[in-house]
Amino acid sequence: MPSITNTALIGLIAAVGASAWKDQCEGFKANIPNVVMKSTYYPAGALVNLTSPSSTVNTKTLPAFCRLALTITTNVTSGNQALTEVWMPDAWNNRLLGFGNGGFSGGVVYSSLSYDGVLQGYSSFSTNTGHQSSPINGTWALNDVNAQKDFGYRAFQLSYQAAKTLTEQYYSKSISKKYYLGCSTAGRMGLVEAQRYPKDFDGIVIGSPANPVARLAAWNIYQGRQVLPVNGTRWISPATWSVIHKEVMKQCDGIDGLVDNVIDDPRQCNFRPEAIACGPNDDRSTCLTLGQIAAVRALYTDWYSSNGTFIFSRFEPGGEVAYATSYVSGPNIALGPEYWKNMIFSDPKWDYNTLTVDDVFRAIQSNPGEIDNNGYNYTSYFAGGGKLLHYVGLADQIISSGNSYNTYNSISAFTKENTNMDPYDYYRFFPVPGMNHCNGGDGANAMGGNNQRSAGQPPLKTDAAHDILAAMVDWVENDNAPTQLIATKYNNNNATQGVQFTRKLCPYPLKGVYQGGDQNSSDSFTCM
């Protein structure tokens, strides 16, 4: 008998295993009504080079997986369709993971499927939500109630059903647990699922949910109007935003006991822009004019209608570097106007300067496509044992972080008022000081949030202590509710350039308080 080394034997078994998976993938047929499917097998380390209107991957780092590209007819009468992909790794961890989208996109999120999905062993799915478009283009919704409904919830729900069935058929095994991970519009989609289809997921992790869209899309315009037009009397240039940032830090960085260029709780910062008002002889690039002071005051104040009804939260002090590059830095406030043009007024020529508070309250009522949740009732999800983890960057430049506090407080209050459940047993909220929208910023921001890995900001370790999705798995499967998370700030927000510092993120209302010692180590902080 020829002798065979152990290494060669292992290689042989792996090759046979891979070839079996390849055959299984390429020959995989499933008969799901209204779904057309195409399968492609990617061996470990194969080039995966895919582009959709919202995401691109170009990598050779993925493990072996079977890619199913589905076309789902969401309404047979109208013929509306969703493009959905299900990626199933050979080395499956027995779990299903669903992802959502950003803005008004419009495309399968390949970055999520790759880095948050198959690379972590999950059978993963993502949908274009029923249309192809960039995140800031809403023309697909014009006079198309089916497209609106698909974006609201239907395309994702049908994708979930298909992904669940296909995964179980492919592996001939039932799924052990089902998870969801998403930030921004994807955060809204996670909340919608928890409320509408409370049995679908065991654990839902959301960041900065874009919900309610009716309020958010109005606030985008309201904030923009505070500073526009470009070069007008209230205009704030990027250079002036830097001046404001310096003064914000001077006034508020130390409130949390540590001067570290991160404001831990910006709600405690009552910024006074008049402190840098221009005197008669001041260089205008180093101070604020009266118009700019008025604009800053409005931007940093919660928005109420004239009869005292709350509409949306303010920009939080500390995020100025990002505010300078966001929609208030120019007329690029497309996300807001697209909603009103295409879903509310059905008028591509509608002028955002005409938006009124009455329009906002009417849009909240009409809720096209049912894209916004109905109040704060999540009791069915919690009663079924479902867990919800929620994070938000406190320097979020797209959706005020105050919206996340409102969501958390309102859901918790509803649960307490209407059930015997303690919402803290099901729902925890982790504010991330200094993080921008979903990732980036000056604070410790890498903690396993959606699409952080693909942005070069992976968690320091893929464990329950550092990675919010791993923490969710530990909560669901081992009943270890997360009491803290360690987040990492990389040099230049780039993991290949090394760790700058780590911090503790704490479940609200706790905060990570400095106890003395090395400021760069999370060990020097305690949640209290």
Ligand X SMILES: *[C@@H]1O[C@H](CO)[C@@H](O)[C@H](O)[C@H]1NC(C)=O
Residues lying near ligand X in the complex (CB under 6 A) are found at 47, 49, 58, 75, 77-78, 133, 137, 139, 146, 149, 230-231, 305, 307, 309, 357-358, 361, 377, 379-380, 418, 456, 494, 496-497, 500-501, 518, 520
Q: How far is the CB of 486 from ligand X (least distance, A)?
A: 16
Q: How far is the CB of 380 from ligand X (least distance, A)?
A: 4
Count of CB atoms situated within 10 Å of the CB of 29: 7
Which residue, 403 or 439, is less far from ligand X as judged by CB? 439
Token representation of residue 390: 């929620």
Which residue, 289 or 500, is less far from ligand X as judged by CB? 500
Token representation of residue 66: 């079977």
Question: CA distances (Å), 181 to each of 9, 209, 433, 446, in order?
Answer: 39, 11, 20, 15
Measured CA to CA, the distance from residue 138 to residue 104 in angstroms comes to: 6
* Burial state string for 30-39 with b = 16 or more CB within 10 A and e = fewer than 16: eeeeebebeb
Phi-psi region of 213 (alpha: psi -120 to 50; beta: other; left: phi over 0): alpha
Which residue, 463 or 518, is less far from ligand X as judged by CB? 518
Residue count (the chain): 528
Q: How far is the CB of 133 from ligand X (least distance, A)?
A: 6
Which residue, 50 or 269, is less far from ligand X as judged by CB? 50
Question: CA distances (Å), 160 to each of 107, 116, 126, 200, in order?
Answer: 16, 17, 9, 8
DSSP assignment of 471-499: HHHHHHHH----S-EEEEEEGGG-GGG-E
Prior bond of 509 cis (ω within 30°): yes
Measured CA to CA, the distance from residue 310 to residue 222 in angstroms comes to: 14
Which residue, 146 or 373, is less far from ligand X as judged by CB? 146
DSSP assignment of 174-224: --SEEEEEEETHHHHHHHHHHHH-TTS-SEEEEES----HHHHHHHHHHHH
Which residue, 184 or 454, is less far from ligand X as judged by CB? 454
Which of 314, 279, 274, 280 minimizes the C-alpha distance to 293? 274
Which residue, 52 or 484, is less far from ligand X as judged by CB? 52
* φ and ψ of 479, to 5 deg: 60, 25
Kind plus residue range of the DSSP H or E element containing 74: strand 65-75
Which of 124, 38, 116 minimizes the C-alpha distance to 88? 124
Q: How far is the CB of 4 from ligand X (least distance, A)?
A: 37
Q: How far is the CB of 392 from ligand X (least distance, A)?
A: 23
Q: How far is the CB of 221 from ligand X (least distance, A)?
A: 16
Q: How far is the CB of 149 from ligand X (least distance, A)?
A: 6
Q: What is the 3-state secondary structure (H, E, C) of 10-59?
A: HHHHHHHHHHHHHHHHHCCCCCCCCEEEEEEEECCCCCEEEEECCEEEEE
Which residue, 147 or 399, is less far from ligand X as judged by CB? 147
Which residue, 94 or 325, is less far from ligand X as judged by CB? 325
Pairing of strands 485-490, 303-304: unpaired
Which residue, 2 or 516, is less far from ligand X as judged by CB? 516
Measured CA to CA, the distance from residue 274 to residue 508 in angstroms comes to: 32
Q: How far is the CB of 323 from ligand X (least distance, A)?
A: 18
Q: How far is the CB of 497 from ligand X (least distance, A)?
A: 5
Measured CA to CA, the distance from residue 498 to residue 257 in angstroms comes to: 26
Which residue, 112 or 379, is less far from ligand X as judged by CB? 379
Q: How far is the CB of 38 from ligand X (least distance, A)?
A: 17
Task: Say how many Å lie between the first and final Cα of the chain, rounded.
Answer: 67
Residue 219 and residue 336 in contact, taking contact as beta carbons nearer than 8 Å: yes
Q: How far is the CB of 53 from ligand X (least distance, A)?
A: 9
Which residue, 433 or 507, is less far from ligand X as judged by CB? 433
Q: How far is the CB of 247 from ligand X (least distance, A)?
A: 22
